[in-house]
């Protein structure tokens, strides 16, 4: 062999720890940035990444991947898939790009923090590649939607969303800033790569890719499957770090970070992915319900990932298993009713056929969420549109920044979980949200939710118009019903038939 095998020199490329003497180890790796688990450099040298890749392999493989994704885009550019897509599907794209594209780019900085501050040399090299991956994901998910900006003003939000105080974006930033932008290197590896990427992005990307392929949007399907192949590499950065922590008696700290990140990810998915899968994706293109996806990807696979690692299931697992059949229905109803406050057009998704599907997937849906939808539907059918729009804001949780909600019907269970901390009263949507806050109150206590800002007079005038201006949402951007209420015709016809009989 004239060329060495990768494993002949791989270990040398990750033998890069040295003992600093012109500065101290704590100066080189400040505990707040590096991860203050009290472990010296040599403890971290045992870190062994399961997915090994070298620089030359990386640039070759990634070049090929890009060639694939970009050529599909180029080939389909004149296909009018966007123009002809179901409006519900367009909303999926708008919500996805806005909430995800620049968040992925921000993740490059989180990877760069692991690169600079981790004491594990293998992690530093893998994060170098991870950082590049996230630049890729940010750039692709801006380049692809840019094709559509001249067709639809809401597509501008693929870029703009992160710069605004739109309520969903405050929630998205609060979550991503908490788990990746403001944590030390080791915590980033646990919270971003192990908890969020291993646990959740599989679902957003593979689940959506399946729906996209069904909906005929091959560009999008191809794009996000290609992204997922990177995720499945750099998501493995956290696992070996957890191993080091557990071996060094730090399981409780590791577990706490997993529990906080998983809960936050779940809440974000309940508002972003749940409505997309169960309401926006046209009925005939739905592969599985959101709950089924959650059970397959999160419950089954992530449970295994946790136990393989020697971690426990989060203490709130029972609450979580119950909520995956409920929370997103409330999030959907909320974002639909408050549709002027989002940058996409929510699809109601409640025609009789769709309700039958919901009832099948979520027995009892008609007796709970269905009752509330009946009221909205009646108002729309009656032309009573003033009643079908909001006038003010819903109350939001001081942890996840999302509306505090419960399940309607006979078992109406909405409940506030309050906490007084340093003289200020905080409100949470669940016991778990409150617990997350209590783990490190100083991270969160000084933050004002959008409702706190409203009540403090920071949003003027204090009505929906003032709130929309605060959220940078103008007519032309504000959401409205995806199908312009065409679905109400079925109910009008049903009503007419009933009358006639």
Which residues, numbered 440-479, are part of the site for another protein (CB under 8 A)?
A: 442-447, 465, 468, 474-477
Positions 176 through 195 that interact with another protein (CB under 8 A) = 177-178, 181-183
- If one asks whether residue 49 binds another protein (CB under 8 A), the answer comes out as no
Is 386 a binding residue for another protein by CB under 8 A? The answer is no
Q: Minimum Å distance from CB 252 to another protein? A: 22
Print burial letters for 438-450: b (CB count within 10 Å at least 16), e (below 16): eeeeeebeebebb
- Residue of the chain from 43, 149, 213, 462 that contacts another protein (CB under 8 A): 149
d(CA 121, CA 45): 7
Instruction: Rule CB under 8 A: choose which of 41, 54, 250, 366 binds another protein.
Output: 54
Of 36, 41, 128, 288, which one interacts with another protein (CB under 8 A)? 128
Q: Considering the complex, state which of residue 107 and residue 294 has its C-beta at the smaller distance from another protein.
A: 107
Considering CB under 8 A, how many residues would be counted as binding another protein? 83
Among residues 102, 98, 100, the alpha carbon closest in space to that of 161 is found at 98
Take residue 294 and report the two structure tokens written for it. 């959650």
What are the backbone angles phi and psi of residue 331, rounded to the nearest 5°? -60, -40
Q: Which listed range, 136-144, 263-271, 306-314, 371-379, lies at the site for another protein (CB under 8 A)?
A: 136-144
Using alpha carbons, list the distances in angstroms from residue 254 to 30, 128, 246, 297, 435: 19, 23, 8, 22, 16
From residue 328, give the alpha-carbon distance in Å to each of 20, 31, 289, 336.
51, 38, 11, 12
How many whole angstroms separate alpha carbon 307 and alpha carbon 460? 50
Query: Which 58-117 positions form the footprint of another protein (CB under 8 A)?
Result: 59-60, 62-63, 66, 70, 102, 105-106, 108-109, 112-113, 115-116
Return the range that interacts with another protein (CB under 8 A); candidates 23-31, 252-260, 406-414, 423-431: 23-31
Cβ-in-10-Å burial (0-12, 13-18, 19+) of 423 comes to: exposed
Q: How far is the CB of 470 from another protein (least distance, A)?
A: 13
Which two structure tokens, joined as six digits, stand for 250? 């730090």
Q: Cβ of residue 74: shortest distance to another protein, in angstroms?
A: 12
Residue ranges in 425-487 assigned as alpha helix (H): 431-439, 441-444, 450-455, 464-470
Stretch that binds another protein, among 172-180, 352-360, 373-381, 418-426 (CB under 8 A): 172-180
């Amino acid at each position: 062999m004239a060329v060495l095998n990768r494993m002949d020199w791989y270990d040398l490329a990750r033998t890069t720890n040295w003992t600093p003497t012109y500065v101290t180890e704590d100066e080189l790796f400040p505990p707040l940035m590096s991860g203050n688990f009290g472990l010296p450099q040599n403890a971290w040298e045992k870190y062994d990444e399961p997915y090994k890749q070298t620089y030359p392999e990386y640039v070759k493989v990634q070049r090929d991947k890009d060639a694939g994704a970009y050529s599909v885009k180029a080939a389909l550019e004149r296909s009018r898939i966007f123009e002809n897509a179901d409006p519900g599907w367009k909303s999926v794209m708008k919500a996805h790009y806005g909430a995800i594209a620049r968040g992925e780019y921000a993740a490059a900085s989180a990877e760069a923090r692991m690169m600079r501050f981790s004491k594990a040399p293998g992690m530093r090299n893998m994060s170098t590649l991870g950082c590049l991956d996230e630049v890729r994901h940010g750039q692709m998910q801006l380049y692809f939607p840019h094709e559509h900006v001249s067709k639809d003003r809401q597509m501008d939000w693929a870029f703009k969303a992160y710069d605004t105080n739109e309520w969903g974006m405050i929630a998205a930033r609060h979550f991503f800033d908490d788990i990746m932008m403001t944590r030390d290197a080791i915590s980033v590896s646990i919270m971003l790569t192990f908890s969020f990427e291993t646990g959740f992005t599989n679902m957003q990307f593979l689940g959506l890719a399946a729906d996209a392929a069904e909906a005929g949007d091959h560009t999008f399907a191809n794009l996000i499957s290609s992204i997922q192949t990177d995720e499945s590499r750099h998501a493995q950065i956290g696992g070996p770090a957890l191993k080091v922590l557990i071996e060094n008696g730090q399981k409780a700290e590791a577990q706490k970070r997993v529990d906080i990140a998983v809960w936050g990810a779940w809440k974000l998915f309940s508002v972003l992915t749940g409505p997309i899968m169960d309401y926006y994706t046209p009925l005939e293109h739905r592969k599985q319900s959101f709950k089924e996806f959650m059970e397959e990807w999160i419950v089954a696979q992530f449970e295994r990932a946790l136990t393989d690692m020697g971690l426990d299931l989060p203490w709130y697992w029972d609450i979580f298993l119950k909520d995956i059949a409920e929370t997103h229905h409330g999030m959907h109803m909320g974002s639909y009713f408050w549709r002027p406050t989002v940058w996409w057009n929510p699809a109601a998704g409640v025609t009789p056929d769709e309700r039958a599907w919901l009832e099948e997937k979520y027995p009892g849906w008609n007796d709970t969420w269905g009752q509330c939808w009946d009221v909205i539907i009646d108002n729309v059918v009656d032309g009573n549109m003033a009643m079908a729009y909001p006038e003010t804001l819903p109350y939001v949780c001081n942890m996840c920044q999302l509306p505090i909600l419960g399940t309607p019907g006979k078992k109406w269970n909405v409940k506030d979980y309050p906490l007084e901390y340093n003289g200020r009263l905080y409100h949470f949507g669940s016991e778990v949200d409150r617990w997350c806050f209590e783990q490190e109150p100083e991270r969160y206590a000084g933050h004002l939710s959008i409702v706190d800002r409203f009540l403090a007079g920071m949003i003027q005038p204090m009505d929906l118009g003032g709130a929309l201006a605060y959220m940078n949402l103008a007519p032309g951007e504000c959401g409205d019903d995806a199908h312009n209420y065409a679905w109400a015709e079925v109910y009008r016809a049903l009503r007419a038939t009933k009358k006639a009989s």
